[in-house]
Amino acid sequence: MPRIAIVGSCITRDLWPIRGGGAEGLLYVSRTSLPGLLGTPVPAFRPADDLPGDLHQHEHKALVADLQKTALRSLLAFRPTHVIFDFIDERFDLLSVGGALASHSGEMARSGYRTQAAFGPARTIPRLSATCERLWLEAVDEFAAVVRGTPLARASLILHSARWAERQRQSNGRLAPIRNVEIVDGLPAVIADYNALLAQQEAAFLARMPPMTVVHAGAHHTADPSHRWGLSPFHYVPEYYDDIRRQLTALDGLQEAFSDPRVAPSVPTA
C-alpha cells in the first residue's frame, strides 16, 4: 500500500475525495513555504486552547505546524513511499519573527495570532521580492540535502506542476476572465506575476532536487465557479483533476492510491 505525502496545497489534496474517517495512508503538509518548513519555531508562540477566529480544526493544525515547525519531523517520521510537491501555497508573503520564518497565509490572518506578543517584532518579506527569492532558493538547496540524507531518498518524488487559471468556465459553458484576485487581507494579485514565480520555482526545484516525475494538466487550467471551495484561480474544473489523477495512477506503486479508502484524506495531518 502506498504511503503518500503531499507537500503542497489543495490542488493535490483535492485529487482524493474527502471522506469520513482517518487518513491512514496520506500525510498532508500545507500552508507553509520551504524556508519556513526548514526553519526554527517562532519564539514564544503559544497556540490557543480553543480554535481562534473562524478557523476549522484542520486549518488551525496546519497553521500551528508552520509556526511550531513540526511538519518536517512529521514528514520524516511518516516514511512515505511517494512525495507529491506543488507550489500553489508559495504565494504568501513571509513573516520574519526573531529569526523564524512563517507564511502570512489566510489562516494566519484570520487566527488573530498577529496580536500575540510573539509577533510584535515581525516584519513582512514580500513574496515577489528578491529577498524572498534568495531565501527560497537557499531552502531548496537545504531541502535537497535533507532528501538525499534521510529515508526520503527512497521515496518516489513527483512534482505537480500547475499555474493560476486566468479564465473561469461559467455555468453556460462560456469562458470569462477572473477578476479582482486577492492574496490575503485584500492584497491584490496579478495572475501573470504569480505564474511567472511558479515557473521560476519549479525550474529551480527540478534543477536542485533528485530526479522526479512531473505531472501537469495545462490544457485544463480553467477555474470552476462551482468548485466546492469557491471560485479561485487554482480551484479548477473537474477535467483538471481527472487528468492529473490519470497520470498519477499510471506511475509505479500508485495504481491503488485512488481506489483504496485508506488513502483518502478527510483533514490535513500536518
Higher-scoring residue by pLDDT: 67, 23: 67
Percent over 70 (pLDDT), the chain: 92
Query: Vertex 127, ends 220 and 202: CA angle to 5°?
Result: 45
Report the alpha-carbon distance of residue 182 to residue 118 in Å, rounded: 27
**Mean predicted confidence (pLDDT) in 205-229:** 97
Task: Name the nearest CA neighbour of 132 among 164, 101, 169.
Answer: 101
Confidence of residue 23 (pLDDT cuts 50, 70, 90): very low
Provide long-range contacts, Cβ within 8 A and 24+ apart, for 203-207.
204/136, 204/137, 204/140, 205/85, 205/87, 205/140, 205/159, 206/159
Greater pLDDT, 24 or 49: 49
Short-list 204, 83, 54, 215, CA closest to 154: 83
Order of all β-strands in the sheet with 82-85: 26-30, 4-8, 82-85, 156-161, 213-216
Structural domains in the chain?
4-249 (3.40.50)
pLDDT tens by residue, 36-77: 999 999 999 999 999 999 999 999 999 999 999 999 999 999
What mean pLDDT value characterizes the chain? 92
**Which runs of E-coded beta strand occur in 130-241?**
156-161, 167-169, 175-177, 213-216
Residue 259: predicted pLDDT: 67
* pLDDT tens digits along 74-95: 999 999 999 999 999 999 999 9
The C-alpha cell at 179 is: 477578476
Give me the residues paired with residue 162 across strands. none
**Predicted pLDDT of residue 255:** 83
pLDDT at 25 over 90: no
According to the model, what pLDDT value does residue 18 have?
54
Average pLDDT over residues 224-237: 96
Per-residue model confidence (pLDDT) at position 19: 45
Write down the residue that cell numbers 527540478 correspond to: 206
